């Protein structure tokens, strides 16, 4: 065996030990609450990727979209075709509608469906896409959302996406990722591309 | 109109103006190179979400997986079923194999398929999942990868995922997101959950 290969093997052996120890320590079985926040690209997309993973295992996922409802949505086209139910707040971006009362009513109606899924133990994963904005704008009641998350079936996982996640949400979460925008094509004058950006 | 609604509308009108101006300024049409890096959860998942989006629009995507090949992969189950081609480096995590020569050969073989797709303009999106590790370990040549990315079809988008993306990759990229780990269920003793973590 070459010296390089020998060193490589020693180094990798140590990494393997550390990984194996962590895996051995993590034995609690429960649904996971994940918050994906931050100002970078890919928060909703990451949520949809996990939905695709869940469905690919023959498990059940449901998606609640609180904002992007009026866009032609590639993920929804694909995932609805394979049986994922969607609840969509169809009013589009809040800065397009500019009407507080109709937005609040739409958010509340969408949330009613979310609550049904958050009580249904046959649903393995619920994606609450962009719900953080509904809380920032007070379209939904934070206490009510927290209570619904706390009381969900114990093996159900939930993903919450959106900028500016409330501290009470991140405290309740098991896993929190922050997506940071390092640079963005849009800022360099490149148009949003179908199949990539939307 | 109530005073609250009036203020809300003024604020949203301003946001709308800013968004509309940015959209008007971004008119260049081209494929986008996105790097998703950082130590947080959801980098590959975000890449798979964009693949689902692309396919949902009836466009063509291809996936090259440089590490997670031996896992039961929910995303692959679903996406292969709807016609997405996968090239998978089947040797698993590098700290499991502990053999530099066989890992290098496997990485090189997988990269040959990636190069074919990076020259094929019928492919709208190529996901190079976890390729950053192949570069950190010198399993692949950085210059060769950079050249292939630079010479790809002009409307093709590429997503590169993995920790520790090389500076030359992030410089070349149009969009760079860093996923930061704020907290992780695994560290709190919660076992990785099928359909969620893998």
**Distance between CA atoms of A178 and B124, rounded to whole angstroms?**
28
Per the CB < 8 A criterion, the answer to whether A143 and A7 are in contact is no
Picking from A96, A99, A124, the nearest residue to B195 by CB comes out as A124
**Distance between CA atoms of B149 and B160, rounded to whole angstroms?**
10
The mean per-residue pLDDT over the stretch B147-155 comes to 97
B63 contact residues in A (CB cutoff 8 A): none
- pLDDT single digits (tens) B94-115: 556 667 888 888 899 999 999 9
The mean per-residue pLDDT over the stretch B55-74 comes to 82
**Distance between CA atoms of B179 and B45, rounded to whole angstroms?**
11
Question: So what's the pLDDT on residue B29?
Answer: 85
ipTM higher than 0.85? no
Instruction: Flag if A185 and B57 touch (Cβ within 8 Å).
Output: no
Instruction: Flag if B48 and A52 touch (Cβ within 8 Å).
Output: yes
Residue indicated by tokens 């996901």: B127
* Chain B interface disruption, residue of A35, A101, A161, A175, most B CBs within 10 A: A175
Name the β-bridge partners of B179. A179
Instruction: Flag if A73 and B53 touch (Cβ within 8 Å).
Output: yes
The one-digit pLDDT tens for each residue of chain A (198 residues) are 566 677 777 777 777 777 777 777 777 889 999 999 998 888 998 999 999 999 999 999 999 999 865 455 788 888 998 899 999 987 755 556 667 888 888 899 999 999 999 999 999 999 999 999 999 989 999 999 999 999 999 999 999 999 999 999 999 999 999 999 888 887 778 888 888 888
Question: Which residues make Cβ contacts (< 8 Å) with residue B141, sequence separation at least 6?
Answer: none
B28 contact residues in A (CB cutoff 8 A): 188-191
Instruction: Flag if A98 and B16 touch (Cβ within 8 Å).
Output: yes
B91 contact residues in A (CB cutoff 8 A): none
Tokens of A185: 């094509």
3-state SS assignment for residue B157: strand
| B142 — pLDDT class (breaks 50, 70, 90) | very high
Question: So what's the pLDDT on residue A18?
Answer: 75
Instruction: Flag if B79 and A99 touch (Cβ within 8 Å).
Output: no
Q: What is the sign, positive or negative, of the torsion defined by CA atoms of A86, A89, A91, A92?
A: negative
Length of chain A: 198
**Distance between CA atoms of B176 and B155, rounded to whole angstroms?**
18
Question: So what's the pLDDT on residue A145?
Answer: 98
Q: Where are the beta strands (DSSP E) in chain B?
A: 33-37, 61-65, 86-88, 125-129, 157-161, 175-183
Instruction: Flag if A26 and B195 touch (Cβ within 8 Å).
Output: no
Of residues B184 and A65, the one with the higher pLDDT is A65
Question: So what's the pLDDT on residue B186?
Answer: 77
**Distance between CA atoms of A18 and A20, rounded to whole angstroms?**
5
A174 contact residues in B (CB cutoff 8 A): 183-185, 188, 190
**Distance between CA atoms of A164 and A176, rounded to whole angstroms?**
12
The β-bridge relationship of strands A175-183 and A33-37 is: parallel
Instruction: Flag if B175 and A193 touch (Cβ within 8 Å).
Output: no
- With 90 as the cut, is the pLDDT of residue B77 above it? no
Question: So what's the pLDDT on residue A2?
Answer: 66
Helix (H) or strand (E) holding B148: helix B142-150
**Distance between CA atoms of A121 and A114, rounded to whole angstroms?**
13
Question: So what's the pLDDT on residue B92?
Answer: 58
How far apart are the CA of A144 and the nearest CA of chain B, in angstroms?
23
The mean per-residue pLDDT over the stretch B36-44 comes to 90
- With 90 as the cut, is the pLDDT of residue B40 above it? no
DSSP string of B160-178, one letter each residue? EE-SS--HHHHHH-SEEEE
Question: So what's the pLDDT on residue B75?
Answer: 84
**Centroid of chain to Cα B120:** 18
Looking at every residue in chain B, the average pLDDT score rounds to: 87
Question: So what's the pLDDT on residue B2?
Answer: 66
B21 contact residues in A (CB cutoff 8 A): none
- With 60 as the cut, is the pLDDT of residue B26 above it? yes
A96 contact residues in B (CB cutoff 8 A): 16
How far apart are the CA of B92 and the nearest CA of chain A, in angstroms?
12
How far apart are the CA of B14 and the nearest CA of chain A, in angstroms?
8
| B143 — pLDDT class (breaks 50, 70, 90) | very high
Instruction: Flag if B191 and A26 touch (Cβ within 8 Å).
Output: yes
Question: So what's the pLDDT on residue B69?
Answer: 53
Question: Which residues make Cβ contacts (< 8 Å) with residue B155, sequence separation at least 6?
Answer: B29, B30, B31, B121, B124
Picking from B12, B26, B32, the nearest residue to A94 by CB comes out as B12
Question: So what's the pLDDT on residue A38?
Answer: 93
């Amino acid at each position: 065996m070459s010296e390089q290969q020998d060193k490589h093997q020693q180094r990798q052996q140590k990494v393997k030990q550390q990984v194996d120890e962590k895996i051995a320590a993590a034995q609690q079985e429960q649904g996971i609450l994940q918050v994906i926040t931050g100002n970078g690209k890919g928060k909703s997309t990451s949520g949809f990727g996990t939905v695709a993973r869940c469905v690919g295992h023959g498990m059940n996922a449901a998606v609640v979209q609180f904002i992007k409802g009026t866009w032609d949505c590639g993920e929804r086209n694909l995932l609805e075709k394979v049986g994922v139910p969607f609840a969509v707040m169809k009013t589009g971006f809040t800065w397009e509608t500019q009407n507080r009362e109709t937005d609040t009513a739409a958010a509340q109606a969408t949330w009613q469906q979310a609550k049904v899924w958050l009580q249904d133990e046959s649903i393995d994963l619920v994606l609450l896409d962009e719900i953080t904005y509904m809380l920032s704008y007070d379209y939904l009641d934070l206490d009510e959302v927290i209570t619904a998350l706390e009381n969900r079936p114990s093996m159900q996982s939930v993903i919450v996406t959106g900028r500016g996640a409330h501290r009470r949400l991140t405290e309740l979460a098991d896993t929190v990722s922050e997506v940071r925008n390092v640079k963005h094509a849009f800022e360099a004058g490149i148009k949003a591309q179908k199949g990539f950006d939307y």
